[in-house]
Chains A and B, each alone.
Chain A
Amino acid sequence: MRVFSFHLMPYPGLPGTYEGPAWVTCPNELFDPELGHRIYNRYLDELVYAEELGFDGVCVNEHHQNAYGLMPSPNLIASILARETQRVRIAVVGNALPLYDPPTRVAEEFAMIDNISGGRLIAGFVVGGGPEYYSFSINPAHARERFAEAHDIIIKAWTEPGPQEFIGKHYRLRFLNTWPRPLQRPIPEIWIPGAGSIETMEFVARHRYAYMGIPYFHRRVFERTFRMFRDACEREGYHADPMQSGWLTPIYVAGSDEQARAEFEPHFWYWVRKLLPGITITPPGYTSLRSLENQMKGAASFAVNLRTWDEVVEGRYAIVGSPDTVYAQLEECLTAFGTGNLLGLFQLGTLPAEETRRNLELFATEVLPRLRARFPEGHPVLDPDAEVR
């Protein structure tokens, strides 16, 4: 299996008195650039440190006009990482394709990062979250169509000789001929994050890309989501490879279960109560009816509704504890989900630099080697007992 350190680059400075959403309408006067200067550099250090500690890769992602994640351009961060690291895979999970016009910009920037990093890019494509359709005023009714067209443009630009032409419904490019081309041939590994949309799963299965279960749901929802993805692969006529899926989860390791909870819990609640509100807004037409129906089944279990620590532990919303506890819970979830990629959030909410570093170190020395031994690459991750059809 492969283990990644994922950073959201959250804004830790929302005042305690602020009760509004962290998205779309969160007043940007609340952003303090002096704090911004410090945290961008600190967060970059934390990502770079993951390479030193032996992680397989690092992940960044794209969000706009919000306090939850300060990477409107994850490609800027990824390009810094391309220079500051030498070995790790750099996963941009992903670029929100419908927000780019023309989306050749994505083909160009990803190819730059792949060239600079020596072929270490994992290219993520995402439809974009609901809030982004408010923040960009892009018609949510066209989200899926634009995503599909933008994807085709990028793949065409990377794999077919230019100049060529692309005439679609939303994008019309008379001269499609992007420079540079990616270093990895034929194309970089592609990851698609999803929140339970059936269309997204089918799209990923059809193209044999990898599906990342990104949002923060009860483990039952993840089990169902990854099973639905494997089923979608079966319908395409093949068995999903464990490397074709990944699970994102907050992780915090300390000396004991009690110490871990005491150090982590307040920062977790800042994330739940200050940074998640607003993330779930769903613009009309953004999701098909059948996907909406599917997503509503899990909606009540979304992390924004969490109230008690017992709920967090029971649903595995965060994996927190001593090295033994963290290993046992990760092992249990990974075998139930069958995911070959683990994307850990080692910094969350207001978690300070010192705790984040200790967390990364303890995980890398006490947990990571055991996960690697338990899930050697090329072997199935899924526990057959969980694969009940």
Chain B
Amino acid sequence: MVGLATSFVTTRVGRVQLRRGGGGPPVLYLHSATGEGEGLAFLDALAERFEVLAPMFPGFGESEGIEQIDDMDDAVFHLLDLLEVLGLEAPAVVGLSLGGWMAVELATRYPDRVGALVLVNPVGLYLKGAEIKDIFGRSPGEMALDLFADQDHPVARMMHSMDAFRNDLAITTEIPFEAVKPVYQAMAATARLGWNPYLHNPKLPKRLWRVTSPTLVVRGEQDTLVPAPHARYYAEHIEGARLELIEAAAHLLPLEKPVELAGLVTEFLETELSEED
């Protein structure tokens, strides 16, 4: 098993934390609002066949510069800077949820900088009657019900145990600030991009035709945070895109089904990247 090593690169907005490892064609992984990346078996599995680059977005982990990013425009320019800094011409881009939204924003604006696109439970759309559930005002325990098919997953259990603290200041016990800080920072960074419009870009649907890269959309069948029509919409409106479902999994697919997801992504990328040659 190939492990990822942490390093730092300097971008225009500041120092960015980067996990990197493996070898082969480059794959850029864009994380979700939970800021996953550390010890992610999914990325380790991808690193068997690819060079995996997993930057933390500003405001997440130890990455700086979120105060210079006000909206998705700024976020996409930051991704462009990252591609320059990392020397990537047109890597495969894999994004989960918020990261999927960022990936598709990059692919609509700069299609020739994305070699292949994998959207895992992506947000970014508003679909009437299939609204994305709230992430900014609910308790971790309520969130866990939408994020995991298996409520016994260690992260789901941890989220349920945090419910004593709630997502507000009405707490009855003193909690260590260090426990709250990364979660608060991650959600604050997400709010900058997705508070209003809520986790979507109203202009995105009319731009989806601009995506030219081979595209795979993956949905956890039991994802109740982002209803099924979202993945379907992307798959139907991006030319040539394919939709795959993974059973017994919800929103945080890379955590719940790392092997299955890595298998799907590896197979897709190997097929598409070899066809291009």
Contacts and interface: CB of A to CB of B under 8 A. Distances in A.
A and B associate in one complex: yes
Contacts of A283: 136-137, 191, 195
B177 A296 contact: yes
Nearest to B172: A305
Interface stretch (B150-158, B182-190, B245-253): B182-190
B192 A141 contact: yes
A282 B136 contact: no
B168 A300 contact: no
A78 B236 CA distance: 56
Nearest to B195: A139
Interface in B161-196: 167-175, 177, 180-181, 184-185, 187-192, 195-196
Contacts of A137: 195-196, 198
B188 A284 contact: yes
Given A137-B196, A284-B184, A295 B191 contact: no
B196 A277 contact: no
B195 A280 contact: no
Nearest to B190: A284
Contacts of A305: 170-172
Contacts of B174: 296-297, 300
Contacts of B168: 130, 280-282
A137 B180 CA distance: 24
B170 A277 contact: yes
Interface core residue of B169, B171, B187, B188 (most chain A CB under 10 Å): B169
A285 interface: yes
A17 B170 CA distance: 21
Interface in A287-301: 289, 292-293, 295-297, 299-300
Contact of B167 (A138, A281, A293, A299): A281
A289 B178 CA distance: 11
B151 to A, nearest CB: 24
A336 interface: no
A289 B191 CA distance: 15
A217 to B, nearest CB: 11
Given A24-B137, A284-B184, A300 B173 contact: yes
A64 to B, nearest CB: 15
Interface core residue of A282, A289, A296 (most chain B CB under 10 Å): A296
A134 interface: yes
Contacts of B170: 277, 280, 299, 302, 304-305
How many A residues touch the partner, as a band?
Answer: 20 to 34
A134 B195 CA distance: 9
A242 interface: no
B167 A285 contact: no
B196 A141 contact: no
A299 B184 contact: no
A370 B193 CA distance: 55
A326 B272 CA distance: 78
A349 interface: no
Given A292-B184, A296-B169, A299-B169, A139 B191 contact: yes
A14 to B, nearest CB: 18
Contacts of B173: 300
Interface in B193-213: 195-196, 198
Contacts of A280: 168-170
Given A141-B195, A277-B170, A281-B167, A289 B184 contact: yes
A140 interface: yes
B171 A289 contact: no
Nearest to A140: B191
A134 B169 CA distance: 16
Given A24-B137, A292-B180, A141 B188 contact: yes
A284 to B, nearest CB: 4
A305 B136 CA distance: 22
B196 A282 contact: no
A289 B181 contact: yes
Interface string A339-360: 0000000000000000000000
B204 to A, nearest CB: 19
A252 B173 CA distance: 30
A289 B180 CA distance: 10
A102 to B, nearest CB: 18
Contacts of B171: 296, 299-300, 305
Given A137-B198, A280-B170, 20 more contacts: A24-B137, A137-B196, A139-B192, A140-B195, A141-B195, A281-B137, A283-B137, A283-B195, A284-B184, A285-B189, A293-B177, A296-B171, A296-B180, A297-B174, A299-B170, A299-B171, A300-B173, A304-B170, A305-B170, A305-B172
17 contacts: A139-B196, A141-B192, A141-B195, A281-B168, A283-B191, A283-B195, A284-B184, A284-B187, A284-B191, A285-B189, A289-B185, A292-B181, A293-B177, A295-B169, A300-B171, A300-B174, A302-B169
Interface of A: 24, 130, 134, 137-141, 277, 280-285, 289, 292-293, 295-297, 299-300, 302, 304-305
Nearest 4 pairs of A and B residues by beta carbon: A285-B188, A284-B187, A299-B169, A284-B188
